[in-house]
Amino acid sequence: MIPVRGVNGARVAVLGLGRSGLSAARSLRAGGAEVLAWDDNAAARAAAEAEGFVPVDLTRASALEGAAALILSPGIPHLYPAPNPVVAAAWAAGVPVDNDIGLFFRSLATDDWEVFESPPRVIAVTGSNGKSTTAALIHHVLTAAGRDSQLAGNIGRGVLDIAPPGEGGAVVLELSSYQTELARALTPDIAVLTNLSPDHLDRHGGRGGYFAAKRRLFAEGGPDRAIIGVDEDEGRFLANQLAEAAADDRVIRISSGQKLTGPGWSVFARKGFLAEWRKGRQVASIDLRAVPGLPGAHNHQNACAAYAAARCLGIGPREIERAFHDFAGLPHRSQLVAEAAGVRFINDSKATNAASAAQALAAFPRIRWICGGLEKEGGLDALAPHLGHVAKAYVIGREAASFALHLRDIPHEICTSMASAVARAAEEAAPGEVVLLAPAAASFDQYDNFEKRGEDFIAEVRRRLAG
């Protein structure tokens, strides 16, 4: 655990007692704070009470009186589409609003760091798609290289739950836009933006607000190195803003699909090959085509980002390549579930928006596509270039018929349930085809989260193949 610094004797309110909120409450208490903990969910309050916290209803008038700060869990809106009433009350009372990420960055460094020859480094990864895989891959490469590394944030543990890193240690964080938007301190040593596509638009007041939330990771603390995906205008804009000159190698541009030229530092993947260029010449390359845990162009972009981060930490190209081959991938992200009679079953339940689903569709030549769910703002236009890979779509979700209207001339079948979709896709799939779950939609119409949806797909595939 990392105790929060600068709160001894202070009253600090925590709204939302899920994983990050309860973690923040523990660390605040360890730092000497009096914690005012609240969650509208009775089960969450009971879990906090079991750990010795006394719930204080923060929705009551004057509940924040004397509070030094309000710590907000990421799922609670603080501005759009409307601020939570407790947040509005904090504004009115002049109480600073922060989150666990802000507490982490202000509390990580201790007096012990002054005697370290090699201080710990923090690598923070954000982006619309691929940030979980990229963060996990960086952590895997560091661990394989014998470095002390911890993975936390939006993946794995809460940021305040990790052990204080020792000399030469690394902390790899996956950060969502909800986390970067609110944190009052953001000071990573290396910051990564994988890509940007429309997502969470209602929460951020549109695409501009969404990008602004991501941009804070680079603008607030000024990382030593910025690794930026430049396949979208926002990434090109950000890289241009941060670089002082064309040869400024504090900014590393990455891409999947385009060759990057110029005197600066770049890492890109084309036709399955990763290339590192510095000062106008190629210095290393890796054949990604045979790396089983990183299939498809979207994973090659993740590999570029992870490679660049590892190089910033002094790890050599061949050592990185060996670690890539040992990477098993993450559940629900291009996860090979089974292969039978020449048909592969791939679980990409994490493809919760059109852009991420488009990347999954682009990775395989002929697909039986299971899609549908709760549609997000931004539409499904990003799918259009890759629909030619789809032999047939099997649509799930409560609004399956409405979702199917976006499929144009693609053969499709309204299945509604996962069991029906898997059964029909498996019956009709031919050798060489892939049955792919890549919903292009959120899961909340039928499941608690994308993990539950992916687990249901896995269970139905295994039941089907066992029968």
Binding residue positions for ATP: 127-133
Q: How far apart are CA 143 and CA 79, in angstroms?
A: 39
- For residue 273 the two structure tokens come to 């090959």
Q: How many CB atoms lie within 10 A of CB 87?
A: 21
236 with 230: CB under 8 angstroms?
A: yes
Q: What is the DSSP letter of 55?
A: B
Binding region: 127-133
Q: How far apart are CA 23 and CA 161, in angstroms?
A: 6
**Is residue 106 classed exposed, middle or buried when 0-12, 13-18 and 19+ CB atoms within 10 A define those classes?**
middle
- For residue 196 the two structure tokens come to 């940007």
Q: What is the DSSP letter of 115?
A: G
Does the bond joining 81 to the residue before it have cis omega, within 30 degrees of 0? yes
Q: How many CB atoms lie within 10 A of CB 166?
A: 13
386 with 205: CB under 8 angstroms?
A: no
241 with 253: CB under 8 angstroms?
A: no
Angle between helices 131-144 and 296-312 (to 10 degrees): 50
**Is residue 252 classed exposed, middle or buried when 0-12, 13-18 and 19+ CB atoms within 10 A define those classes?**
buried
Distance of CA 154 to the CA centre of its chain: 6
Residue whose token pair is 């770049």: 266
SS3 call for 119: coil
